[in-house]
Amino acid sequence: MSTIYNFNAGPAALPKEVLQKAQREMVEYGNTGMSVMELSHRSNAYEDIHNQAISRLKSIANVNQDYHVLFMQGGASLQFTSVAQNFLKGQSNYILTGGWSEKAAAEAQKIGNVVIGASSKENQYRSIPLSDTLLYDSNDSYMHVTSNNTLYGTQWQSFPDASIPLVCDMSSDILSRSIDMNQFDLVYAGAQKNLGPAGVTAIFVKDSFLKQANKNIPTMLSYQTYADSNSLYNTPPVYSIYMLNLVLEWIEERGGIDYIEDQNDQKAKIVYEAIDSSDGFYKGHAQIDARSKMNVTFTLATEALTTTFLKAAADAGFVGLPGHRSVGGCRASIYNSVSLESCEALAKFMNQFKKMV
Ligand SMILES: *Cc1c(COP(=O)(O)O)cnc(C)c1O
């Protein structure tokens, strides 16, 4: 196999060990005589996989007993609608920290009133609003935050302590660091960044919050449907859930979230160090106190130089470094499955490129 360093933003790198295990089990899973893709979602063999994935998510995330873990489809983008349909009554509160939170707010606006409690748009989303500056009303149905801002490379370091329910889009940093998941009433995350392949979205919802959900909404958007059926109301994306379970097993085998967090800290340090020690050759987009450990965003002095850098990086086997089409520049996505070695190779390349031009 050719050596490439995968910094894709999503779908993103998966652990090689997981892909190899999936390869071994591809044609015949256990002694079922068939592939996971061919199993009935009502079979015991599949239900075991499904339930393992749910219990691993609960245990790695370390949530209390009163959380439901649900699997839905439609990506994080459908959750923008789902959250609002289930919980928006009167008015909701959105904190804008990037393109994804803008989209979440725009979808909610189609369903009810949205108030923007804070936004860092004026400074090109380089920062995260300070928790004590957030404006909200105690009657707001919930406050929505985006824990990691995939496009701009910022990340909440600690979360608002508001007196209203807290909903979090955690698509790009779920299970990447040890945070108290019990502070959220609902968390959702598309799997394709930190948890597995595309096709499944994981949702954590607190039972007391679920009980407040609107009842008269479309069946497939109602969290209650999934909670009542163990996410087996209709056919789930069985292979995506199988892969997600393998990724969770991989996390557990390595020592759980503490190990992952430690690796992620080291990885981010290596890449940011390459930026910070470059005497301004590379410029980080995010304010230092808001830097994401998942998406490292930076630019070079001119657009032409950025283009030359990206071309040279691609030639050297670095994949996925161009920034999001709405932002430009460079972005290294260093999710859980991206190795320390990939980050070291990138830092080395950045240092060499600087010397070369
Ligand atoms: C990628 C991403 C999304 C969109 O996810 P889809 O699964 O493609 O809908 C939403 N929010 C955040 C924070 C993301 O990083």
Q: Is the CB of 10 under 6 A from ligand 1?
A: yes
From first to last of the 357 residues of the chain, give the pLDDT tens digit: 778 999 999 999 999 999 999 999 999 999 999 999 999 999 999 999 999 999 999 999 999 999 999 999 999 999 999 999 999 999 999 999 999 999 999 999 999 999 999 999 999 999 999 988 899 999 999 999 999 999 999 999 999 999 999 999 999 999 999 999 999 999 999 999 999 999 999 999 999 999 999 999 999 999 999 999 999 999 999 999 999 999 999 999 999 999 999 999 999 999 999 999 999 999 999 999 999 999 999 999 999 999 999 999 999 999 999 998 878 899 999 999 999 999 999 999 999 999 998
Whole-Å CA distances, 263 to 162, 177, 254, 257:
31, 10, 11, 10
Q: Is 193 in the active site?
A: yes
Residue nearest to atom 3 of ligand 1 (CA): 76
Q: Is the CB of 168 under 6 A from ligand 1?
A: no
Contact yes or no for 295/331 (Cβ under 8 A) = yes
Q: Is 156 in the active site?
A: no
Q: Is the CB of 75 under 6 A from ligand 1?
A: yes
Going along the chain from its start, the domains and CATH numbers come out as 17-253 (3.40.640.10), 256-356 (3.90.1150.10)
Strands 148-149 and 154-155: antiparallel
Residue nearest to atom 10 of ligand 1 (CA): 76
Q: Which of 167, 171, 331 to mutate to test the pocket of ligand 1 (most atoms within 8 A of CB)?
A: 171
The active-site residue, picked from 173, 185, 193, 250, is 193
352 is in an annotated binding site: no
42 is in an annotated binding site: yes
Q: Is the CB of 169 under 6 A from ligand 1?
A: yes
Q: Is the CB of 76 under 6 A from ligand 1?
A: yes
What's the confidence (pLDDT) of residue 327? 81
Q: Which of 77, 144, 154 to mutate to test the pocket of ligand 1 (most atoms within 8 A of CB)?
A: 77
Secondary structure class of 105 (helix, strand, coil): helix
Q: Which atom of ligand 1 is nearest to the CA of 148?
A: 13
What is the 30 CA–ligand 1 centroid distance (Å)? 33
Strands of the sheet containing 113-119, edge to edge, are 67-72, 201-206, 186-190, 166-169, 143-146, 91-96, 113-119
Query: Which of these, 234, 230, 242, 244, lies nearest to 38 by C-alpha position?
Result: 242
Q: Is the CB of 236 under 6 A from ligand 1?
A: no
Alpha-carbon span 229 to 233, nearest angstrom: 5
77 is in an annotated binding site: yes
Q: Which atom of ligand 1 is nearest to the CA of 80?
A: 10
What's the confidence (pLDDT) of residue 132? 84
pTM over cut 0.95: yes
What's the confidence (pLDDT) of residue 267? 98
Q: Is the CB of 150 under 6 A from ligand 1?
A: yes
Residue nearest to atom 13 of ligand 1 (CA): 171
Task: Return the structure tokens found at 16.
Answer: 């090689």
Alpha-carbon span 62 to 200, nearest angstrom: 21
206: Cβ–Cβ under 8 A, 6 or more apart, which residues?
A: 66, 67, 182, 184, 185, 186
What is the 76 CA–ligand 1 centroid distance (Å)? 5
Task: Return the structure tokens found at 123.
Answer: 């400074």
Task: Return the structure tokens found at 74.
Answer: 């439609």
235 is in an annotated binding site: yes
What's the confidence (pLDDT) of residue 1? 72
Q: Is the CB of 190 under 6 A from ligand 1?
A: yes
